[in-house]
Structure 1
Amino acid sequence: MKALVLLSGGVDSTTCLGLAVNRYGSDNVVALSIAYGQKHLKELEAAKKIVAYYQVELMQLDLAKIFESSDSTLMAHSDKEIAKESYVKQLEQLDGKPVSTYVPFRNGLFLSSAASIALSKKCSLIFYGAHSDDAAGNAYPDCSDAFNEAMNLAIFIGSGEQLKIEAPFISMSKEQVVKTGLDLKVPYELTWSCYEGEAQPCGHCGTCLDRIAAFENNGVRDPLMDF
């Protein structure tokens, strides 16, 4: 069995990589990192350190051109401020719409691209780190269980039944994802999640707040907050 893992360099995707390596061995795992025109490249830089740690092959793809018209606050061309509050608080003001850091159909595009590469690399599985907290309240609809099932079916059919998606955390909270990673001894000190690209995490954007809480709820401190 050979697997391709979508690796952003953040907590969830790095835990996915650790899980895949634990199951199949580093020789049977390929990591794929994708640039999409985001504000900074800190996560992609983290991904390089993570694949070096796990000694797996890294492939890189640039899809920035596709997102040139996106109004997501994550994009380098956006002049909008990234919200400095939890996703729960953001969703209270959005009437069921995705949060401002949602990048239009990003996971759909990433998975489709990954499928083409996975087939070329003789992989039979694509791993990605979607979890229930990101899908909750329609914050990131392309992290939902329904989306995952639809994409899995499309890729399975479209690949001639050669390729499947595995989203091992789709029913888990971020707290549970971190617990899984701690058990696997995932090198979280190498990861990056913050939406800002400063020397240290801001500690106040939605992903920082979720990450900090996930570690605290596991009785440990986020290693990136030790400063």
Structure 2
Amino acid sequence: MKNHVMVLASGGIDSTAVMNFYLEQKFFVLALFVDFGQHAIKEEEKAVSKVCEHYDVPSKKVSFSGFNITSDGFIVGRNALLLHTALMEFQERKGIISIGVHLGTRYADCSEEFIRIMQASFDLYTNGRISIGVPFLNWNKKEIWDYCISHQVPLNLTYSCELGLIQPCGRCKSCKDLEVLYAGSS
């Protein structure tokens, strides 16, 4: 019997690396894409589809409407929404819900403290049967990039611009990270 993991997939580098991480460990992986009205919805959804096709991973989409997304960076409550949405969608009695949070951001919902708080919420609902997987929690973006290169993660299929523009746009934090990573890998 395989272990099950639901990966919160955005189509970006981090969630694609997470997907690869669990596939290499022979988990049964299901991707969950959440449309909460983000600026880059169309490009993210295309990237998730391409990545899932590449890995032959089934995916599911959940949509919310009515949120007023005005930020092109930190969105208050986003990772809590994503994790609890995944918990509601996860059909297995036991397993992992994974998210690609990592070091190097100032976002409160990319911290060990946030993951501990969310795990306590999961434990309340599941009596400890569902855990939050954060394989890159203590890695910075460069370490994740290097992992992707060394493990042949299909970076060409990913999309990371928070504004939904041609990447790297040079304006949002994700694209600024990409510019640094591209420059460092040549």
Distance 1:121 1:193 in 2: 29
- 1:160 match: 127
Distance 1:111 1:144 in 2: 14
TM-score under structure 2 normalisation? 0.90
The number of aligned residues is 183
- 2:33 match: 33
TM-score under structure 1 normalisation? 0.75
Distance 1:153 1:180 in 2: 29
Distance 2:94 2:15 in 1: 18
Distance 2:144 2:32 in 1: 20
Q: Deviations over 1:127-157 (max 9, x none)?
A: 11001112x3xxx211111101111122123
Larger radius of gyration: 1
Task: Report how far residue 204 of structure 1 moved.
Answer: 3.4
2:123 maps to 1:193:
no
Counterpart of 1:115, as a letter, is L
- 2:101 match: 130
Distance 2:24 2:141 in 1: 20
Q: Deviations over 1:113-133 (max 9, x none)?
A: 111212x14450011100111
Asked if the contact 2:93–2:129 (Cα under 8 Å) also holds between the matched residues in 1, the reply is no
2:147 maps to 1:180:
yes
Q: Deviations over 1:31-52 (max 9, x none)?
A: 0001111223211110000000
- 2:59 match: 58
Distance 1:165 1:214 in 2: 27
Structure 1, unpaired ranges of 5+: 75-100, 222-227
- 2:77 match: 105
Change in 2 beyond 3 A, CA 1:164/1:112: same
2:138 maps to 1:171:
yes
Counterpart of 1:113, as a letter, is T
Asked if the contact 1:175–1:213 (Cα under 8 Å) also holds between the matched residues in 2, the reply is no
Change in 2 beyond 3 A, CA 1:181/1:209: same
Task: Report how far residue 215 of structure 1 moved.
Answer: 4.2
Residue 146 of structure 1: SS of its match in structure 2?
helix
